[in-house]
Amino acid sequence: YVELGEGDAVRLDVESALRLAYVHSPNHQSQLETLYLSALDVTEERFRLDTQFFAGSGLDYVHDGKLNPPSIAFDDTTGKYVISPGGDGAESNRVTLGSSATAQRRFATAGQLLAGFANSFVFEFTGGDANLTASLANFSLIQPLLRGAGRDIALEQLTRSERNLLGSLRAYGQFRQGFYTNVAIGELGVVGPQRNGSGTNLQSFSGFGGVGGYVGLLQQLQQIRNTRDNLNLQLRTLEQLEFRLDAGSINLEQVDRFRQSVEAEKARLLRANNSLQLSLDQYKTQTLGLPPDLKLELDDTLLQQFQLVSQNATALLDTIVDAQQRVGQLPEDENGDLADEVTVAMIEQLLTDVTPLVELVGMQLATLPPDLERMEEIAKAREEDMLDIDRKLFQRDRDELRKKYSDLLAEYRTAPNVMKELKSWLDEESRAATVDDLIDWLRGLRRIVERSVLVQAGARLESVTVDPVALRSPDAFQIALGNRLDFMNGRAALVDSWRLIQFNRDALQSVLNVTADGNVQTSKNNPLSFRAPTTNLQLGLEFDAPITRLIERNDYREALINYQRSRRGYIQSRDALNQGLRALLRQIDQLRQEVEIQRRAVTIAIRRVDFTQALLDAPVAPAAPGALPNQFGPTAAIDLLAALSSLRDSQNSFLRVWLEYYTARLRLVRELGIMELSPAGEWIENEFPAAFEPAGGADAAEDTDELPSLPPAELPPGILPDADNPAPAAPAM
């Protein structure tokens, strides 16, 4: 039921993770079991109100010895006690076979009816081998008249079981919403079904939430990629610095600091990889319910837009660096000049090998226009929410990216001509000059690719967008009250506590029951010889005055207090929901603005890297005759190192803020109760509501109360036992 990738690894995205979790998650299985147990409670209560049949039989063997003591037994036929003398020296062996059948029924009026039939066969194996057969049919009826006798009392337990089952169904529906967010962002946020019903203390978003679940795994994966890209860039720069160290154009202290940073970046990458593996194991065991050694292959489609540097560009840079190393490894004489053993044929072969780089660089530049075009397409929508000053900065950054791309094209167009000139000028006398020009040519190609990578990263960065949420907190609160299933259960629980007041109030009254009993027996040694003279009928009234009602009074007072507690809990839950929604909407607005702030930070970091790289690529002024070679500035390498670290950190921050906005928006859909799921549990993303619309439509009056109001603070007249007015009905909630 899931796709397998290379090495039988499960291809994991949110949809496949959901399929796995619905099958293997212990938490989901527990919710289903709780729902099933709630259904069992309903069947049990319905069984109590249905006609119940019981039947059975028994076989007894009785042996009386010669010296058995006298026995006393009641004779149902004569209605007298019969004494059987013992010790008469006679043995007795009897086999008794008895059977019975009973039917009983509880009525919706709180009455109970019991009807039964029994017979017995006695076989005596001593004396004359006599046998005796007798049958009995009886019934019993009791019907209460006071204490609220009727459907409200007789069906109370069934009603509560059915309401609990309905609440469990609602809770499971909301649990599926939380189950999706738990798989996607690592936050359940709901309680789920409860067998004995939910209360009025309901769970809502507290205002604090992070990024976890599957999205959290993707975040760690992309941070590892950012760290790896930064490490590769540092390694390539370190090779350039070591080459300049050998040439004397940079001091050892700057190179060592760069080397130290490279080692620290390697350690950081190792820790990040280990942390990702630990998170994967925890996700498999705790969320999906799978063993930790299951192979997974993460689908990172959601984060494709954050891969600012293409893998092809990185591979091309590595190829150019290899070519530079190959040229740098040409033998030199003791004066540092090109050795005589380097022939023209060797240089010609070297020029031939590096010529394809021109086409590869052109292919890299050809990938920039689509990214620039997408940036312009998205720019119109982004500018609608910008201030004038931000709009001008955004336009300036886009113009700068397009200008850089034009400059790169102009610089690239000269590369083929330069290569042709190198090949045409090559002879024995120009060997060294050709090698020097080749080094400059490769440095220029590398610079073109590095700058194209930064341009591409900037264009892709500007193309990342967020879906806006235009919703006021009062509207969000009304939407949540009208759609959240747990608040429906909370209102139902409050009604149950209200109904329990009336139920316990009825127990304070007197008891008056109508009773009826009767039976008919067989008159002869025949199991079916029922006769009218053997009939017994009894009718009666049972009355119990309300003299002692201490326990009932305490239960009633307890019900009054529990209602007030439930009411306060429900009001506090409403306030907590309102507070959580307000905090969540503020967080969404903050994150939306912070996305733009972090985007600007990444743009600045890209410019810093471009500028500091240009300083290292610039040629050093030639030294005076007999003087030491001139060096770069004392902080040139350190500035580049700081720029690279800032680029990595700003990329991670931008990714973090965007994912926090994504999770907050998903969390808001769940908290509003409007998350629509497919039968497979997948989120069907619909258009986000802009405002609350009453049930009467947009033209309804603004002051119309379309949602349940707060429960009454005081009990109305008629609910107290000493009131003259009848008890009121329960509030509609």
Q: Average of pLDDT values for 262-270?
A: 93
* Residue 487 clears pLDDT 90, i.e. is over it: yes
Query: What are the percentages of helix, strand and coil residues in the chain, rounded to 5?
Result: 55, 15, 30
Q: Average of pLDDT values for 229-250?
A: 81
- pLDDT for 715 equals 56
Residue 631 pLDDT class (50, 70, 90 cuts): low
Residue 263 pLDDT class (50, 70, 90 cuts): very high
- pLDDT for 339 equals 79
Residues 275-294 have pLDDT tens digits of: 999 999 999 999 999 999 99
- pLDDT for 659 equals 93
CA dist., res. 485 & res. 171, Å (int): 7
Q: In this structure, what token pair is assigned to residue 19? A: 């399929």
Mutual angle of helices 550-617 and 213-247, in 10-degree steps: 20
- pLDDT for 302 equals 87
- pLDDT for 392 equals 87
- pLDDT for 206 equals 81
Residues 684-709 have pLDDT tens digits of: 988 877 776 655 454 444 444 455 56
* Residue 130 clears pLDDT 80, i.e. is over it: no
- pLDDT for 62 equals 85
Query: Which DSSP string corresponds to 165-224?
Result: HHHHHHHHHHHHHHHHHHHHHS--------TT---S------S-----HHHHHHHHHHHH
Query: Would you say 330 and 339 are in contact if contact means Cβ atoms under 8 Å apart?
Result: yes
Percent of the residues in the chain that have a pLDDT greater than 70, as a whole number: 87
* Residue 730 clears pLDDT 80, i.e. is over it: no
Percent of the residues in the chain that have a pLDDT greater than 90, as a whole number: 38
SS3 504: helix
Measure the CA dihedral 424/427/429/432, to 10°: 70
Query: Which DSSP string corresponds to 577-619?
Result: HHHHHHHHHHHHHHHHHHHHHHHHHHHHHHHHHHHHHHHHHSP
- pLDDT for 41 equals 94
User: What are residue 101's DSSP bridge partners?
Assistant: 55, 117
- pLDDT for 74 equals 58
Residue 208 pLDDT class (50, 70, 90 cuts): confident
- Comparison of pLDDT for 249 and 41, the residue scoring more: 41
Least confident of 209-218, 362-371, 504-513, 694-703: 694-703
Question: How long a stretch of residues is the chain?
Answer: 733
Least confident of 481-490, 508-517, 528-537, 552-561: 528-537
* Residue 313 clears pLDDT 60, i.e. is over it: yes
Nearest alpha carbon to residue 364 among 464, 453, 468: 453
- Comparison of pLDDT for 137 and 724, the residue scoring more: 137
Query: Would you say 227 and 268 are in contact if contact means Cβ atoms under 8 Å apart?
Result: yes
- pLDDT for 709 equals 64
- pLDDT for 694 equals 58
Residue 53 pLDDT class (50, 70, 90 cuts): very high
- C-alpha dihedral sign at 637, 639, 640, 646: positive
* Residue 382 clears pLDDT 50, i.e. is over it: yes
Query: Would you say 193 and 179 are in contact if contact means Cβ atoms under 8 Å apart?
Result: no
CA dist., res. 210 & res. 587, Å (int): 11
- pLDDT for 109 equals 87
Q: Average of pLDDT values for 224-249?
A: 83
User: What are residue 141's DSSP bridge partners?
Assistant: 113, 516
Nearest alpha carbon to residue 280 among 193, 362, 372, 186: 186
Query: Would you say 215 and 693 are in contact if contact means Cβ atoms under 8 Å apart?
Result: no
CA dist., res. 467 & res. 451, Å (int): 31
Query: Would you say 670 and 178 are in contact if contact means Cβ atoms under 8 Å apart?
Result: yes
* Residue 169 clears pLDDT 90, i.e. is over it: yes
User: What are residue 62's DSSP bridge partners?
Assistant: 94
- Comparison of pLDDT for 6 and 36, the residue scoring more: 36
SS3 715: coil
- pLDDT for 73 equals 63
Q: Average of pLDDT values for 374-401?
A: 85
- pLDDT for 28 equals 93
- pLDDT for 207 equals 75
Least confident of 127-136, 180-189, 467-476, 546-555: 127-136
CA dist., res. 393 & res. 400, Å (int): 10
Average pLDDT over the chain, rounded to an integer: 84
First to last CA, the chain: 43
- pLDDT for 515 equals 94
> 90-94, 340-344, 586-590, 699-703 — which one is most confidently predicted on average?
586-590
Q: In this structure, what token pair is assigned to residue 98? A: 């008895």
Place of tokens 């059987």: 84
Taking CA atoms, 253 is separated from 153, 265, 350, 380, in Å, by 90, 18, 34, 48
* Residue 606 clears pLDDT 50, i.e. is over it: yes
Least confident of 69-78, 373-382, 505-514, 563-572: 69-78
